[in-house]
Structure 1
Amino acid sequence: MRFPTSLALLTVPLLLATSGCFAGEQAAEGSSSDRVKIAMLQPPRFGLTPFSDDAFKLSRWATAETLVTLDADGNALPGLATDWTRTSDTAWELTVREGVKFHDGSDLTADAVVNTLTRAGKASPKPRILDGVQLTAQAAGNKVTVTTATPDPLVPQRLSSPQLAILAPGAYAEDGKVNPVGTGSGPFVLVKVGGTSTATLDRFDGYWGERAKAAGLDVSFVPDGTARAASVRTGEAHIAETVPVSQAALLDPALLTEVPMPRTNTLYLNTRGGPMADPAARAAVRAAVDAEEIVKGVYEGRADVAKGLLGPALPWTVGEREPLADRTAPGAANGASITIGTFTDRAELPEVASIVQQRLEDAGFTVKQDVREYAHIEQDALAGKFDVFILSRATVLDSGDPVAYLRSDFTCGGSFNISGLCDPAVDAAVQAAEGAEAGPERRAAILAAEAAVLRTDAGVPLLHERVIQADAANVVDSAKDPRERALVTSATHIR
């Protein structure tokens, strides 16, 4: 099993045979041996518009590019912008890379950048990365000035979102529709989309960076996990994303890579009332639950025991997190009755709930479960109807920064505050993290906010999930990216 040192999916029903429906029989260019065949989980849901979550497909196929990229720690690196400077509290000036051609032959210019950013700001719905953000852009020569309504130290990181990928002006229609076919700037040009079944990309020989080693990509959308895993075994695909844990054992371990995901399974303990309003009772829950037992028994060892709310998908947390002191001592359960809630949409969570129930009963609690589909339980969870709620939660979204998660889940005004936590120390720590500059200062503030949350035991992290990627033995240099922004690069090829 290979583990990379660096670097939420909903299955959409699709009428495919169990064996899958695979592309590549009539590749546009290059012999079949020069092309990379990919089996992906989700078909496009929004016509591959970059202002939606479909943008991540364009990014993973290396066809659409952003002004800024991120390293493993979330630091901003040059992309289609070569550098940037903060010129005021609310303004940033970026230099547009020269010599870049879009796939339609037009040039990357500052005006093209402004066109994309302006349309993104007016899109309905807005790209997720711009939720709550008022952003405007203005061109002058090869410079673009990006201005926000309020100070935002994360503007460069926001511009790394695949939802803000820069396409040729010809991609954008007057009715608001966006067509990414032949309008990107990456090493592969999208030449054909076969509805929700396939996509075809060819090498773009006019690429400004390193020329792609593969002649092209033949993408198939295969929602069935068994078929997707089997596609690598049978040779129908070279790369299969998101292999189910149940199928991983059927593949050669040498073909698998487990990629840490920025997703944490957490016990949200209700601080509003009931037994969990007592900090000592929350501490008793924390002490009773054995996360390692859950990782081994439910996830077959294919997850990481949580050391905090933020996991190894953010590598800097591992080395920079300090041991947590001043924790509340566990109290006695005294037979207190509690209800555990979770949902069936993620198959592992009901199993997790059963193990948690057993351990809490061993600790002296009286426990019952309430397990439903997520659509039928979310509102009750947010309303505080459960003493313990088990949730698999993404901790990092488009900007590569977890502060928004900490605010939404654990502050007094948080929009997703299942625990009902309202702690002045937590709010102050999260506010400090929000205002900190990107880099070491912000990382330290984020870990201080995480520690403040953990001291309350309102959230008891259990584990951090991994995603399993299968690569055929002849695949060279595929990307393993916890943010799911990259799957192939210019270097990816078949030997």
Structure 2
Amino acid sequence: MRPVPRRRLLAGLLLSPVLTTGCFASGGEASEEDAADGSRLRVALAFPPAENLSPYGADATLLSRLGVTEGLTELDANGSTAPALAQSWTRENDRTWLFTLREATFQDGTAVTPAAVAAALTHATEAKPVPAALAGVTLKAAEADGSRVRVTTGDADPALPLRLSSPGLAILSPKAYGSGESGGGGGGGGGKGRRPDPTGTATGPFELTKLSGTTAATLDRYDDYWGGRAQASGIDARFISDGTARTNALRTGQVDIAEAVPISQAAALDEGTRHETATTRTTSLLLNTKKGPFKDPALRSAARGAVDTSVFAKDVYEGYADPGAGVFGPAVTWAADKRVKPAGRAGAAEPDGTSVTVATYDNRPELPEVAQVLGQQLEKAGFRVELEVREYSRLESDALAGKFDAFVAARNTLLDTGDPVSVLASDYTCDGGYNLSLLCDQEVDGAVAEAEGLSDSAKRQQAVMDAEAAILGTDAVVPLVHQQIITGVRASVQGVVFDPYERTLIDTGTRR
């Protein structure tokens, strides 16, 4: 009997309905071989690889969305932890967990063993910068008895199984790290901080076989996938940062699936090919607190006061968003009832012509318009604004280095781990790996640390909102809108995953 594909955990409201057969890349009919063995999927993605498809940074989500990589756990449709490479887990004590592995193989044919898993997790802890899911976390992994892996954290981490679902903590074979041996208890070859190569070394239903720079990638079905043979024979992915070009590629039959369709292009798609998904993604203005004019809390306060969030939701996003309420929006269903009003904000200073550079990227086509409207609001308040717009892969390193005064970014707050505490640690603490505002505030660090140590769900959620209030009180971030995303899918395609966490797009049931 054929095993049930694991990604069917996201079934129901996340899967597209069964529709009719359509055209192929050549414009002709499906061949007999295609019909018997599954057709290839043609996908347009918004973000080109920024780090040669390293699984440790922004590229990790590209790999998970295409069905290449997976971790020990994953998120189910409700945002709870579900089995992936680990079929079960138990907590030995406050700092130690045991994960029992299922029988699976890497795409290079080697077995997924406790030693290989421990080595993969150890490499992740040594990556520079550290994966966002491990921000502020000390983690050690070692082979245990039988088919189990023991994972120990420096401090109690009640959310560890959720954390290990992060796309940035994908498990790859020893070959990916430049070592022919699994090693024991971590370590492995290849050297600290080395970027692993996911080509043919992951465990998902699709195997990366070729990466053509930042323009395209080729994936073939991995027939020995533990969760069942994928229905598509492979994926031809194109990286098209321009949203209009992505949409046109879908409309003209060049691709079957186009992610992140611009709102301005939504009306150009037939209703049956346009799919809206509420997400946990928030678009925010992040202010550089380390250097430049926004190092001054009073000027940050002035910038926050200049922003009218209702304009972005109504005019820029045309109703496909809600006005910014905090770091976490309406898709985090418990947040509103527990939200705390920020305290201790600085009084606003007069900008008096202060010059600021606001940067953003055009992979998400609404962001340049957001930045333009934002610039107008800031100038009305007395700032002088220079806008800088680039493609994301050419912008990220400069943003993390603090080369801009302000940065407009769209961030899925539950993407990295599914744990809201983790995104706060990654984005807003002194040691955070994705701290675009370069915030380093002892009160914020203390509030996040307190939330990290709580295992009771209700208390942890309230601590999250207390930490959110401390962050908002610094005016390092101004939430603008909480978004929906639009995915374009040709009528010939079924089984696309409309994931509110934006981790999965293609699974074993996606086909045309």
The alignment's TM-score, normalised by the length of structure 2, stands at 0.73
2-structure distance, mates of 1:308, 1:123:
30
1:352-431 mapped onto 2 (5 Å cutoff): 352-357=373-378, 367-373=382-388, 391-392=408-409, 394=411, 395-396=413-414, 398-406=416-424, 416=435, 429-431=447-449
Distance apart, 1:431 and its partner CA: 3.4
Q: Which moved more, 1:76-85 or 1:394-403?
A: 394-403
Residue 202 of structure 1: aligned partner: 220
2-structure distance, mates of 1:482, 1:254:
19
2:488 alignment partner, one of 470, 487, 491: 470
Distance apart, 1:73 and its partner CA: 5.2
Residue 142 of structure 2: aligned partner: 138
1:73-472 mapped onto 2 (5 Å cutoff): 74-98=79-103, 100-123=104-127, 126-139=130-143, 140-174=145-179, 176=190, 178-259=196-277, 260-266=279-285, 289-312=307-330, 314-317=331-334, 321-322=337-338, 337=352, 339=354, 341=356, 343-346=358-361, 347-357=368-378, 367-373=382-388, 391-392=408-409, 394=411, 395-396=413-414, 398-406=416-424, 416=435, 429-437=447-455, 439-451=457-469, 453=471, 459-472=477-490
Q: Is the 8 A contact 1:229 1:470 kept in 2?
A: yes
Query: RMSD of the TM alignment (CA)?
Result: 4.3
Q: Is the 8 A contact 1:289 1:356 kept in 2?
A: yes
Distance apart, 1:230 and its partner CA: 1.0
2-structure distance, mates of 1:381, 1:454:
22
Structure 1 SS opposite 2:34: coil
1:38 aligns with 2:43: yes
Q: Is the 8 A contact 1:59 1:65 kept in 2?
A: yes
Query: What count of residue pairs does the alignment treat as equivalent?
Result: 458
2-structure distance, mates of 1:378, 1:49:
18
Unmatched segments (≥5 aa) in structure 2: 1-11, 16-24, 180-188, 362-367, 390-394
1:22-37 mapped onto 2 (5 Å cutoff): 30-31=34-35, 34-37=39-42
2-structure distance, mates of 1:422, 1:442:
21
1-structure distance, mates of 2:474, 2:510:
46
Residue 61 of structure 1: aligned partner: 66
1-structure distance, mates of 2:476, 2:212:
47
Distance apart, 1:70 and its partner CA: 1.7
Q: Give the % identical residues.
A: 40
1-structure distance, mates of 2:83, 2:122:
21
2-structure distance, mates of 1:350, 1:436:
38
Distance apart, 1:237 and its partner CA: 0.7
Q: Is the 8 A contact 1:408 1:417 kept in 2?
A: no
Relative to structure 1, the CA distance from residue 141 to residue 438 in structure 2 (aligned partners, 3 Å threshold; closer, same or farther) is: farther
- Which of the pair has more CA radius of gyration? 1
Structure 2 SS opposite 1:316: coil
Unmatched segments (≥5 aa) in structure 1: 8-21
Distance apart, 1:187 and its partner CA: 2.2
